[in-house]
Amino acid sequence: MNIGVPRERRTDEHRVGLTPAAVELFVSAGHPCVVERDAGRDAGFADVQYERAGARIVYSGEEVYGRAGLVAKVSKPTAEEAEWLQEGSVLMGFLHLAAGRRDRIQAMLDKKVTAIAYETIQQEDGSLPVLSALSHMAGLMVPQVAGTLLQSDHGGKGMLLSGVPGVPPAEVVLLGAGTFGMAAARAFLGLGASVYVLDLDLGRLQKIEAHLGIGRHIVMMVAHPTNIRKAVAFADVLVGAIHVPGARSPIVVTREMVRSMKPRSVVMDISIDQGGCVETSRPTTHHSPTFVAENVLHYCVPNMTSVVARSATHALTNAAWPYISAVATHGFDAAAASVHALQRGVATHQGRVINPMLAAHLGLPEVTS
For residue 127, being part of any structural domain is answered with no
For residue 126, being part of any structural domain is answered with no
Query: Nearest CA to 282 among 229, 119, 290?
Result: 290
Which one of 14, 96, 136, 349 is the catalytic residue? 96
In DSSP terms, 198 is beta-bridged to 175, 221
Which one of 236, 273, 298, 361 is the catalytic residue? 273
DSSP code of 164? B
Cα(79)–Cα(76) distance, integer angstroms: 10
Same domain, 54 and 72: yes
In DSSP terms, 43 is beta-bridged to none
Same domain, 37 and 98: yes
For residue 159, being part of any structural domain is answered with yes
How many domains does the chain fold into?
2
287-303 confidence digits (pLDDT tens): 999 999 999 999 999 99
Q: What is the CATH number of the domain that holds 137?
A: 3.40.50.720
Residue 96 appears among annotated catalytic residues = yes
10-36 confidence digits (pLDDT tens): 989 999 999 999 999 999 999 999 999
HSE on the CB side for 330, CA within 13 Å? 15
229-278 confidence digits (pLDDT tens): 999 999 999 999 998 887 889 999 999 999 999 999 999 999 999 899 99
309-325 confidence digits (pLDDT tens): 999 999 999 999 999 99
Tell me which residue range forms the domain holding 58.
3-121+309-362
Same domain, 322 and 270: no
- Amino acid letter, residue 51: E
Q: What is the mean pLDDT of the chain?
A: 94
* pTM for the full predicted model: 0.91
For residue 285, being part of any structural domain is answered with yes
Same domain, 33 and 137: no
Residue 273 appears among annotated catalytic residues = yes
Q: Give the domain-ending residue among 302, 318, 348.
A: 302
Task: With a cut of 80, say whether residue 366 has pLDDT above it.
Answer: no
Q: Give the domain-ending residue among 282, 302, 322.
A: 302
Mean pLDDT score, 106-114: 94
